[in-house]
Every structure is written in structure tokens, then in C-alpha cells.
């Protein structure tokens, strides 16, 4: 935390008293802390307390411009290395998730490019409400980081999850995450994601159930860990919010092949997680096929095997494939690893609960070229992606020895 510029946002809950200790501990560790308080937070703790602990002015009003040469919330947003929201109420989480900027805190958070950490604190039933869950998921998709609350006796009398995590734990989580963020610094990462669509006629095509969520999680995790990322994606309903991701949209397997082939030579790590069509119609039609009596036969031809082609062409790239299977996944994954000259393969049984297409979670086995297995248990796809990168980096170090 030494010399880190930290904006601490304090919102209106009884847990605001813990933010005092948090401010003190951050300052003791060498951080420069500036506190923003909402009006509700001032009902619990005085701004003077935070001013004394941080030895910096406390911000409470968007329109209180302390320096006429600067716009306060923009200046704070640019100054920050880290923005920490603790405690975060359901109200402020909902505001940020929906782009509402109506006070000093929310305008600063929406304006910052710094890493944002959110430590919720609220009643256990509020924390489990579908609207709150949806808002937290939206912020996670935007790249915000949550520090989960603890479970125990709450001020409202309920017992359960919702208690603001202890200041020491909050600081350790941030420090650990900041260190993880540097793991891929200077690396170039190429990821493919989503399905492809193979045209039959102007209204019909062959495709598959892939939503692109795992591939996007891999791209976003690499970007958060400091890599320069290129994402080649088939047709998906997903957005990218990180600045250091170059997105290339394609539709067909052939288009994906050419995009991957063009980007491949300059990469350090290449992960092909896209579910690319193995076959396409041999003949396509410019006009819609009309329904006729009897059956319709469509002859299919093979598409280019992108992963195999990259495996044959690789020089120093660390090449990782995905094997989405429904039976004997490890056997098929091992065969694919060896046959396509991969450095590692990520195997998952898409029939397993929590690991199928469209899920926000995954359960996978990472298998490297030495046939060493590492099981990654059920977790969010973003967390699975981060663990995959740590395994890749470990294998890359072994190869360089």
C-alpha cells in the first residue's frame, strides 16, 4: 500500500464505524487516503473523524469545489490508484450498477479509471435479494471487484451474511489482487470465444450452444492481470469493458481461422476456447429454401481445424485448447492435447451441473503437456480463468528452465 492513492467511499450504514479503522490502517501502511462520505454516512460518523485519521480533507458535496482550478470529483477520480467502497450499501451498489451519479461518491466512481473494490454491508435478506444480486453481477461484468461480507450477528438482529469484512482482511484482499494483476504484465494474449455460424440460406444457419462467457472471462481476466489482449469472438450478446482488449468480431469458422492466424505470430499465450463448427454446408443458397414434401438432405464439408493448424505453426507461443465433452472427457482431452501439439488443454464435461454452455460458473481439469492434471472446482468463470493463467505461467516457467 506504500504511496498508493486510495479514495475511500463511505456510505450510510452502521458499519461506517469500521471505515474509521480501515482509514487508519491504510494510512499506517503508507497509503494516501482521501475519504468521500455520503449524506447518510454522516449520520453515523463525523467527517472530522476521517479528516483526523487520513490527514486529508473529506469530500461530502459534489458542488463544494475546494479548488476553483479543478473539478473536484474528476480530480479525485484521476488521482486515485484504487477506489474502495466500504461499507457499500444496497442503495449505492444499485446506483453505480445503473449509471446513476447524483452525489460526490457516485460521480467520482463513474469517472474513475482506477481499480474499484466494493465491500458490501447490509441485512442478510437484502444481500440475497435478486435485485442486489443482479446489480452486483452487473458491476462484476464491468470489472469491479467485490470483497464478500462476513457472516455473523448483524446490527439489525439477524444472523447471516452481510457483515462488513474486517479492515485487515479488506486490505489483504486488495494487496493480493494487486499482486495478481501484475502476473501477465508485458504478455500478449490471444483468446477465441463463442460459437460460429455456418450459412445455409439467408435465414438459416448451423451453430451451437456456446455463449462466449468462458472466452470473455479469459480475455477479461488476462486484461485485469496486465496483459495486452486480442479477443476473436463469434456472434455473442456480450460486451467488453476493459481498455486493453482488442475485440475482433467474426461469424464463420473460416473468418475465425483467418483472424486467429493473422494475430497468432506475435502472441505469448493463445487460448482457443471458441466452439468452432467442425462442418459447414457444402452448398449455400442466396434465396430462402422452400419447404417441400419429403426429407431435406444437406451435404456438409469439413472446416479448417484452427487449433491443429496453430499447433503445427507455433514457435514460442504457449498454446491452450479447450475440450468440451459429454463422455470420457479426460480421454478425449488427452488425445486432443497430443494430436494437436498443444502445451495444455482445459477439459470440461458440459453435461455436469454448473459447467454447461451459458452458465456463469465452470468446473474444469487443466492438463499440461507432461500430462499433469490440475482440477479447478466449481467457481465463477472469471475465477476459473485466473487460475488457468496461474497454471499456464507455472508451466511457462518450467519450460524456460
Partners of 347 in the beta sheet?
323, 365
Q: Which of 205, 140, 151, 103 lies closest to 381, judged by CA?
A: 140
- Give the DSSP letter of residue 354: T
CA dihedral 77, 83, 88, 90 (to 10 degrees): 60
Which of left, alpha, beta for 55 (phi over 0: left; psi -120 to 50: alpha)? left
Q: Are the C-beta atoms of residues 309 and 264 closer than 8 Å to each other?
A: no
Sequence-distant (≥ 6) Cβ neighbours of residue 328 within 8 angstroms: none
Closest C-alpha to 362, from 374, 373, 372, 352: 352
Which set of grid coordinates corresponds to residue 35? 475519504
Paired residues of 379 in beta bridges: 362
Calculate the CA 203 to chain-centre distance.
Answer: 34
> Measuring CA to CA, which residue among 395, 359, 357, 358 is closest to residue 378?
359
- The closest of 354, 350, 356, 397 to 379, measured between CA atoms, is 354
d(CA 230, CA 187): 11
Catalytic residue status for 156: yes
Place of cell 444457419: 205
Hey, which residues does 319 pair with through a beta bridge?
A: 270
> In the structure grid, which three cell numbers stand for residue 184, read together?
501477465
What cell was used for 370?
A: 507432461
3-state secondary structure of 346: strand
Query: Could you check whether the bond before residue 21 is cis, i.e. omega within 30 degrees of 0?
Result: no
Please give the helix or strand (H or E) that residue 339 lies within, else none.
helix 329-339
- Tell me the torsion sign for CA atoms 300, 304, 308, 312: positive
Residue of 259, 249, 252 whose CA lies nearest to 196 = 252
Q: Which three cell numbers, joined as nine digits, stand for 58?
A: 473529506
Residue of 74, 131, 133, 156 marked active site: 156
Which residues are known to be catalytic? 156
Amino acid at each position: 500500500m506504500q504511496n498508493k492513492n486510495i479514495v475511500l467511499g463511505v456510505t450510510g450504514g452502521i458499519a461506517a464505524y469500521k471505515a474509521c479503522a480501515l482509514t487508519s490502517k491504510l494510512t499506517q501502511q503508507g497509503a494516501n487516503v482521501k475519504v468521500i462520505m455520503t449524506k447518510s454516512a454522516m449520520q453515523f460518523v463525523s467527517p472530522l473523524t476521517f479528516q483526523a485519521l487520513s490527514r486529508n480533507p473529506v469530500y461530502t458535496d459534489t458542488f463544494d469545489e475546494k479548488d476553483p482550478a479543478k473539478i473536484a470529483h474528476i480530480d479525485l477520480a484521476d488521482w486515485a490508484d484504487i477506489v474502495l467502497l466500504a461499507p457499500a450499501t444496497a442503495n449505492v451498489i444499485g446506483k453505480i450498477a445503473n449509471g446513476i451519479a447524483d452525489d460526490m461518491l457516485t460521480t467520482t466512481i463513474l469517472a474513475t479509471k482506477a481499480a474499484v473494490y466494493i465491500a458490501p454491508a447490509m441485512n442478510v435478506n437484502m444481500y440475497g435479494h435478486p435485485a442486489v444480486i443482479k446489480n452486483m453481477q452487473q458491476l462484476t461484468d464491468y470489472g469491479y471487484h467485490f470483497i464478500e461480507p462476513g457472516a455473523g450477528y448483524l446490527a439489525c438482529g439477524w444472523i447471516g451474511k452481510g457483515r462488513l469484512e474486517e479492515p485487515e482482511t479488506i486490505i489483504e484482499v486488495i494487496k493480493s489482487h494487486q499482486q495478481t494483476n501484475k502476473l501477465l504484465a508485458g504478455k500478449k494474449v490471444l483468446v477465441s470465444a463463442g460459437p460460429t455460424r455456418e450459412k445455409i440460406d439467408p435465414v438459416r444457419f448451423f451453430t451451437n450452444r456456446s455463449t462466449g462467457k468462458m472466452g470473455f472471462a479469459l480475455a477479461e481476466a488476462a486484461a485485469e492481470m496486465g496483459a495486452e489482449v486480442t479477443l476473436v469472438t463469434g456472434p455473442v450478446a456480450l460486451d467488453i469493458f476493459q481498455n486493453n482488449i482488442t475485440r475482433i468480431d467474426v461469424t464463420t469458422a473460416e473468418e475465425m481461422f483467418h483472424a486467429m492466424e493473422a494475430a497468432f505470430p506475435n502472441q505469448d499465450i493463445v487460448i482457443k476456447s471458441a466452439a468452432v463448427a467442425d462442418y459447414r454446408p457444402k452448398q449455400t443458397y442466396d434465396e430462402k429454401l422452400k419447404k417441400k414434401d419429403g426429407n431435406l438432405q444437406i451435404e456438409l464439408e469439413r472446416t479448417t481445424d484452427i487449433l491443429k493448424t496453430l499447433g503445427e505453426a507455433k514457435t514460442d507461443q504457449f498454446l491452450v485448447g479447450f475440450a468440451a465433452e459429454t463422455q470420457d472427457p479426460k480421454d478425449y482431452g488427452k488425445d486432443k492435447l497430443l494430436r494437436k501439439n498443444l502445451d495444455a488443454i482445459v477439459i470440461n464435461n458440459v453435461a455436469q451441473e454448473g459447467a454447461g454452455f451459458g452458465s456463469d460458473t465452470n468446473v474444469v481439469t487443466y492438463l499440461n503437456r507432461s500430462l499433469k492434471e490440475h482440477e479447478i472446482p466449481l467457481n465463477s468463470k472469471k475465477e476459473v480463468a485466473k487460475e488457468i493463467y496461474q497454471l499456464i505461467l507455472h508451466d511457462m516457467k518450467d519450460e524456460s528452465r
